[in-house]
Amino acid sequence: MPPTDVDRAVEAAELDASLRRTSDEIERVTSESSTASTSSSESAEHPHHQGATTAPITTSLSRVPTQRDLARHETELSRIHTARSQHSGTVGRDTKSIRSTKSRKPLPNFGAGKPYPPPLPNQEDYVVEFDGPDDPLHAQNWPLRKKMVTAAILGFTTMTAAFGSSIFSAATVAVAREYHVSSEVSLLGVSLYVLGFATGPTFWAPLSELKGRRLPLVTSMFGFAIFSIANATAKDLQTILITRFFAGFFGACPLAVVAAVFSDMFDNRTRGIAVTVFSMTVFTGPLLAPFIGGFIVENQSLGWRWTSYIVSFMGFLCFGLNLIFLRETYPPAILVTKAAELRRRTLNWGIHAKQEEIELDLRELVSKNFSRPMRLLFTEPIVTLLSIYMAFIYGLLYLFLTAYPFVFQGVHGMSPGIGGLTFFGMITGQILAGVAILLQQPWYMRKLAANNGIPIPEWRLPPVVAGGAAFAGGLFWFGWSGYRADIHWIVPTLSGILTGFGLASIFLQSLNYLVDAYLMFAASAIAANTFLRSLAGAGFPLFARYMFEGMGIQWASTLLGCVAAVMVPIPIIFYLYGHKIRAKSAYAPDYADAQRSTAPAPEDEEGGAGTSTEEEKEVLGAAATRSVANGSVARLSRDARSAV
């Protein structure tokens, strides 16, 4: 099988890491035979590294490696490997498309009668890297206080975007009354905002790969605040709807990028905790807004427009905090800044970062951010069924914005503000789910260690099964306890504990399952999932009123509960047969085959110009397994988790 460009990049990263020697790295202690074989092979393949081979064990060494040295050495290898793998997978790095683009254009003259200068003697010598595993420029080496401040700012930023999606639901009745339209038309303000969530990541995610995390976060929060205040001052309905869509489009950036920032800052031991806490802000934000919006709408001196004014103020605060305090965390972008400083101060214009070699290609941009996710959505059973399941759950999250007022305002006669407080039942359930998942981390790490660091994706699914059963039970509980006024209001409120627990359990672990199952294609799998579920989140509120009015609260909830119960077997099927389904997949890496193919393939000059998807799967599967063995699988798939 001819190796692809991605395979060559991964192999080059590993080879470069194995040969790398700095003053901070350790000496390898090897036997005479291993040293001789290593030296001869490296001398044959890489003559310029002949002086980098290690001495036999009988030779005196500068120092004996300690356990900390070994850990630091693994960190260095992992970071170099990850940076090169990120570079090879970044939009615009497809070398075949770059070659074809260059071949169609003749080179211009150098100018002033000058000949072309000779190429750099060894381009890799001019590529900047991090200065060992303890380089303070790397975000994982930041002081804990700086990490916590950054995490708090970005958590608030994410919650603001999610908060803005649902606070408008409290204003829909007032908007319908003011502009003489039906409540369904005014609900488009919620639906179009969530539709912006579906389209936004296709722009913000690749931008964060090309220009770093800080630029899109700062830019998007400014746009978010501007469109929110434009919504508050809108003179007609169409302006309200248009500005809500673009507020959602800009607000999608934190949802697509902040998880990646957390992956930049936290290592494998703490990344799971950080991403789980981030995910909680995504799901609790929409449930914190209704009671605040309700109290605002009730206040005659404020009115519905203040639901958007409040969001715009929060957006401007996020913009200011990000502009002043947020520092770049994306390693390739940090190296670009470092290279620019070195060029300026040394006047050596050959110095550059790997990220600066990227040429943006529109065809590749469309392929990686639209066509490939759609292929996964319609051809991969795991992606298709899990996306349908999660779309249903996500749609119900926004459907509850209509269902809860039916019960607590319609049946129990509460005001919009007081009725919105009942969402705290769901918030409590989500917090319990997050705590339960965090408590499972030691169990998961023990299984991972017992399997030589190779993750089995199906280990993620038991909480999804439990969450699915809890979610279906919560729907039945809500419907049959909420349709009668003689049943105390606390009873349907407590049903939210089950629905909230189920919602968070299903989402958190299903997303992790998709990441583990598709690894190098995980970003596309998550993008497909995000697209479908955002469509459901936009559509479900539009028919909620008709369903609950026509069927009644108890029977509408029963229908939804039955659908949820029918979907519970989906994760069970994948838990039992997921490994067989993945073995037949064109995209999911086969860990067993990858382990058998860890030896590098022979070089081929054509470099896989005609490589099929099946071949690409095998190559990336092997690369993924090697990354797992190096402890860097989570970072290779870091952007996959950003679409939460």
Q: What whole-number distance in Å separates Cα of residue 225 and Cα of residue 364?
A: 32
**Average per-residue pLDDT for the chain:** 78
Residue 634: the pLDDT is: 40
Q: Token match 């905790």: residue? A: 273
Record the tokens describing residue 569, joined without a space: 């077997």
Q: What is the mean pLDDT of residues 484-505?
A: 93
For residues 386 and 578, the answer to whether their CB atoms sit within 8 Å is: no
Look at the chain and count its residues.
Answer: 644
Q: Is residue 387 over pLDDT 50?
A: yes
Residue 192: the pLDDT is: 93
φ, ψ for residue 186 (rounded to 5)?
Answer: -70, -30
Q: 263 pLDDT band (50/70/90 cuts)?
A: confident
**Tens digits of per-residue pLDDT, 338-358?**
999 999 999 988 899 988 888
Residue 438: the pLDDT is: 87
What pTM was estimated for this model as a whole? 0.74
As a whole number of angstroms, the longest Cα–Cα distance in the chain is 93
Residue 526: the pLDDT is: 79
Q: Is residue 8 over pLDDT 80?
A: no
**Tens digits of per-residue pLDDT, 150-174?**
999 999 999 999 999 889 988 988 9
Q: What is the mean pLDDT of residues 99-126?
A: 79
Residue 27: the pLDDT is: 33
Record the tokens describing residue 124, joined without a space: 């890799």
Residue 204: the pLDDT is: 86
Residue 337: the pLDDT is: 92
Q: What is the mean pLDDT of residues 263-288?
A: 80
Residue 612: the pLDDT is: 45
- Return the SS3 of 110: coil
- Return the SS3 of 352: strand
- Return the SS3 of 127: strand
The percentage of the chain sitting over the pLDDT mark of 70, rounded to a whole number, equals 74
Record the tokens describing residue 481, joined without a space: 């306890």
Q: Is residue 219 over pLDDT 70?
A: yes
Q: Where are the beta strands (DSSP E) in 355-400?
A: none
Q: What whole-number distance in Å separates Cα of residue 461 and Cα of residue 575?
A: 6
Record the tokens describing residue 421, joined without a space: 């407080």
Nearest to 586 by CA among 639, 514, 518: 518
Amino acid at 373: P
Record the tokens describing residue 385, joined without a space: 């069924």
Q: 308 pLDDT band (50/70/90 cuts)?
A: very high
Q: Token match 């039955």: residue? A: 562
Q: Tally the C-alpha atoms within 13 A of residue 407's C-alpha that lie toward its C-beta.
A: 34
Nearest to 642 by CA among 207, 33, 118, 194: 207
Name which residue leads in pLDDT, 493 or 264: 493
Amino acid at 183: S
